[in-house]
């Protein structure tokens, strides 16, 4: 029984590190956790303790990202908090990624994301990437300033993927429309999620995308229905 309690404690500590944005032992943030193990060390410890990778993901990482995502949506956490959580998540995921490759963790699907042509903002996109990856999806991040061709190539490469488009400027928002039309023209049933500060539900409908979310957690909830 003792071992089960230890495992539970490791998973809870790891979850707390991700929610609070404690990346590794050396990281000074948050000050209250200074000098303590972070997501990096604790995820490795969990694997060393023979906790199954899918259990680490489902019982520790996903709930943590869900909590920080929920706080962000309610205005109780802010972009810097999300960035630290995303970094902590990345530190943990590097220990888990090999298990996706071997099939020990079943991926829920592929999510292709990019910031649209003309736009070089990546903070929002990066946060969404991490939250979606934290929900068990394989994320293919195409980067910034991504045009129609690059998205179409990605759809050819990952036929069952869901597409995510990000834009932070009112000027580049309009590039989204042509990208959506091109993708839907070739793949009418392709699911496209859009996000970014200047967007709205109305704009999403106007350009023919399937879903708009003002925060990453909303995108994760929407994606659940397409999970393998």
Q: For 78-89, write each residue's pLDDT tens digit.
A: 989 988 998 999
Q: Are residues 222 and 113 in the same domain?
A: yes
In angstroms, the Cα distances linking 211 to 9, 79, 122, 221 are 38, 22, 20, 11
Q: Write out pLDDT tens, residues 206-226.
A: 999 999 998 888 899 999 999
Q: Are residues 147 and 54 in the same domain?
A: no
Domain boundary among 57, 80, 106: 106
Min mean pLDDT across 20-24, 99-103, 203-207 is at: 99-103
Q: Are residues 52 and 72 in the same domain?
A: yes
Domain boundary among 86, 106, 126: 106
**Cα angle 153-159-162, degrees, rounded to a multiple of 5:** 90
Q: Are residues 4 and 51 in the same domain?
A: yes
The answer to whether residues 202 and 213 touch, using CB atoms and an 8 Å cutoff, is no
The answer to whether residues 38 and 17 touch, using CB atoms and an 8 Å cutoff, is yes
Q: Are residues 134 and 145 in the same domain?
A: yes
Positive or negative CA dihedral for 150, 154, 157, 159? negative
Positive or negative CA dihedral for 82, 132, 204, 173? positive
Q: Are residues 93 and 137 in the same domain?
A: no
pLDDT at 2 over 80: no
Q: Are residues 98 and 123 in the same domain?
A: no
> Alpha-carbon distance 141 to 112, whole Å?
6
The radius of gyration of the chain's CA atoms, rounded to the nearest angstrom, is 18
Q: Provide the number of structural domains found in the chain.
A: 2
In CATH, what number is assigned to the domain containing residue 3?
1.10.1240.10
Q: Are residues 51 and 118 in the same domain?
A: no
Q: Are residues 81 and 150 in the same domain?
A: no
Cβ burial, residue 150 (10 Å; 0-12/13-18/19+): middle
Q: In the chain, pLDDT over 90 holds for what percent of residues? A: 73
Q: Are residues 113 and 6 in the same domain?
A: no
Q: Are residues 91 and 113 in the same domain?
A: no
Q: Write out pLDDT tens, residues 25-57.
A: 999 999 999 999 999 999 999 999 999 999 999
In CATH, what number is assigned to the domain containing residue 177?
3.40.50.280
Residue 101's pLDDT band, with cuts at 50, 70 and 90, is confident
Which tokens go with 18? Answer: 């991700």
Q: Which among 37, 39, 32, 31 is positioned nearest to 14, based on CA atoms?
A: 39
- Confidence at residue 135, expressed as pLDDT on a 0 to 100 scale: 84
Residue 70's pLDDT band, with cuts at 50, 70 and 90, is confident
Q: Within a 10 A sphere around the Cβ of 149, how many other Cβ atoms?
A: 11
Residue position matching structure tokens 């590097």: 94
Domain boundary among 106, 131, 161: 106
> Alpha-carbon distance 77 to 70, whole Å?
9
Q: Within a 10 A sphere around the Cβ of 15, how many other Cβ atoms?
A: 22
What is the domain extent for residue 78?
1-106
């Amino acid at each position: 029984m003792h071992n089960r309690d230890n495992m539970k404690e490791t998973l809870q500590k790891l979850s707390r590190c991700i929610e609070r944005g404690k990346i590794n032992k050396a990281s000074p943030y948050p000050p209250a956790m200074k000098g303590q193990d972070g997501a990096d060390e604790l995820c490795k410890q969990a694997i060393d303790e023979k906790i199954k990778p899918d259990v680490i993901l489902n019982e520790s990482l996903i709930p943590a990202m869900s909590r920080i995502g929920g706080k962000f949506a309610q205005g109780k956490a802010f972009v810097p908090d999300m960035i630290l959580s995303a970094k902590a998540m990345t530190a943990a995921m590097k220990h888990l990624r090999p298990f996706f490759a071997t099939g020990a963790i079943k991926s829920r699907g592929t999510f292709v994301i990019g910031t649209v042509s003309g736009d070089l903002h990546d903070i929002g996109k990066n946060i969404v990437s991490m939250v979606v990856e934290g929900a068990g999806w394989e994320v293919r991040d195409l980067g910034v300033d991504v045009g129609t061709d690059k998205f179409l190539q990605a759809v050819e490469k990952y036929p069952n993927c869901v597409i995510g488009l990000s834009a932070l400027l009112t000027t580049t928002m309009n590039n989204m429309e042509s990208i959506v039309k091109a993708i839907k023209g070739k793949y009418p049933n392709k699911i496209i999620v859009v996000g970014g500060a200047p967007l709205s539900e109305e704009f999403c409908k106007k350009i023919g995308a399937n879903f708009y979310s003002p925060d990453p957690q909303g995108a994760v909830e929407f994606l659940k229905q397409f999970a393998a």
